Structure 1
Amino acid sequence: MHFASDNYASVHPEVFAAMADVNVGHDAAYGADAATAAFDAAVAQEFGEAALGYPVFNGTGANVVSLMALSPRWGGVVASEHAHIHRDENGAPERVGGLKLLEVPAPDGRIDPASLDRWTPDIGDEHRAQPLVLSVTQSTELGTVYDLDALTALVSRAHALGMRVHLDGARLANAAAALGVSLAEACGGADMVSLGGTKNGAMGAEAIVVLAPDLRDRLAAELPHLRKSTMQLGSKMRYASAQLTALLTSRDESGDPLWLRNARHANARAARLRRELEPLAGDGTVRFTQETQANAVFVEMPRTLAARLREASRFYDWQAGSTPDTVEVRLMCAWDTSAEDCARLAAHARAQR
């Protein structure tokens, strides 16, 4: 079992079953199919009647298309120093979207509303990219979660400055599960969300969801063209739509949807992994560097220990540690991570320290 990313996890059986259900005969292409109509209905049920959903291939595509839809060509996108759009998308917002990214500090992954003031003096200056969009990640790249009051305050501040708000929701399900709220509530009033599926049990499906009612008419006309021109329009869309609909609507005997069950499990396993590693923190071998609120554990350890652990399980170095001989690593849990997986990794760490 690997702890590198929740992308490493297998596809949930209920998602596979949903894909099999639509794998019969012919159906219309490019979203004019019954499965995509069912996805549209699920989006309206989950996010409100005014919401619009657009399946896409991957999270980078969802982010870039969303940002292009929200900003004119002269616009800038304010984002955390750790944001996926800034660090891990190979310049796609700039290369494909033609948008300037405007970085703000976020030591725990969460943006403070006051940090937006770093870019507000540029408003109206024709020589500067205009800070017209704020991109927020929920849960954050550091495994932390915005509580609803904090996120609402941040979104409200951005709106007051005339900015639109995009939410990178690659792990929105994990945030909602941690907060005990719906997916819509976990967005905190954002205008648009990149809704993650692949990290939550899907085979390969993400979606752009328009949340702001005042954007509905414009984006209903523009987003189909934007999605196509950015190579994110799938011909056999029914298979992506079926995956997303299964996550939103497939329920167990208790009535919990699949997205919640998967996210709750992943979060619980991260909490378990942290508990298993706590004795090593107690004796000073390792040091936790962030709160464990969703499905990630960030921990600093000796580089030698990290190398030995990698002989049994993959995980990523996040950044250099506080001393030359240490490194901060990220350990991700997924819907299929077991308690035994967590115990095994921690036992190996204890044996190798």
Structure 2
Amino acid sequence: MKKRVEEKRKIPGVCYAFSDDGVELPVPDVTHWAFLLDPGEEELRRREVAYLEGMRRWERLPSPVRRGLSWFFQRRSLLARAGTGTEGSLLSGMNTYLMKLGPRPLGKGYASALDRKVADELPPFGVRLRLRDQACLVAEALGGLLETGRTGPVLLWNIAGGTGMDSLNALIRIRKERPELLAGRGVRVLLLDSDEAGPRFGSRAAEALRGPGGPLEGMDLEVRRVPYDWTNPSDLRRIRDREGTPWAGSSEGGLFEYGSDEEILSNLEVLGEIAGPGFFLTGSVLRDNEVTRVMGRNSRLAIRCRGVAGFVPLAVRSGWEIRRILDGPTIHSLLLGVAGRGTPV
């Protein structure tokens, strides 16, 4: 880790952890006022119109001007650099993480006024809503499993898990709303990822959350990376044999947003084979609308705007069904269960 840059203006009640670059970053807690989101239809529509109008002006600019402005923004904005990527790439776990912080929690030691402006635009706002919705789905479904009286440590798999914030925020929600469900119970979160930096930060974030005064204070919690490439789904069986049968799975901003149809099908088929009783899976799918199509045209990232209509046939073919959908302006958050098996929600 590089020389540490401490956050000097910490938000009360928010935990902090250091990145590999030595920067102290806030850990999102979707129940804390600094990260709380509850936009109404009017606000969402206003944000959508503003984004589309801005992008139409951008697309009318000559290509050389756009290239020059892009260079300028990337030089001066951490978030602009984070969202650029290379052709056909995936947004890394740490770059995705920065999108989840929002304008207020971005620290002055590493973020600029331009960063705060970018953080309040529709695409990062949609990512923050995705975190809220994914955490909600995991918390409700996992709470249902815990109510059945299952014993033993809770094992959560997070595919393309990055920093694992959806899993950690689900635990925060359960701890605050139904603390008896997790009392005395160990929890293991496995971040199935080919990247290392995001999971390393996720582990440090978990330690901060379970430290004195944290929302998961004293919890028997382990967060660690397990190397995984979703192009080789047969590895899921080996992970199950080595680590144990997972209670639940999730993939926020991962497999369903970037994976090909064949990759999604093969992963769902293997997960359906190894899933234990009550196993559920949450994931996010990019909407197929004007906003996401504009996003796709102006991004080098390998995003796939398949929408629910494009995803349902993949789920059905692989033996799954959608149990619940939470809609955001750019992203659908889904709860899936194996067809014919119950999910406690």
TM-score range, shorter chain: 0.3 to 0.5
- Name the structure, 1 or 2, with higher relative contact order (CA <8 Å, separation 6+): 1
Greater Rg over alpha carbons, structure: 1
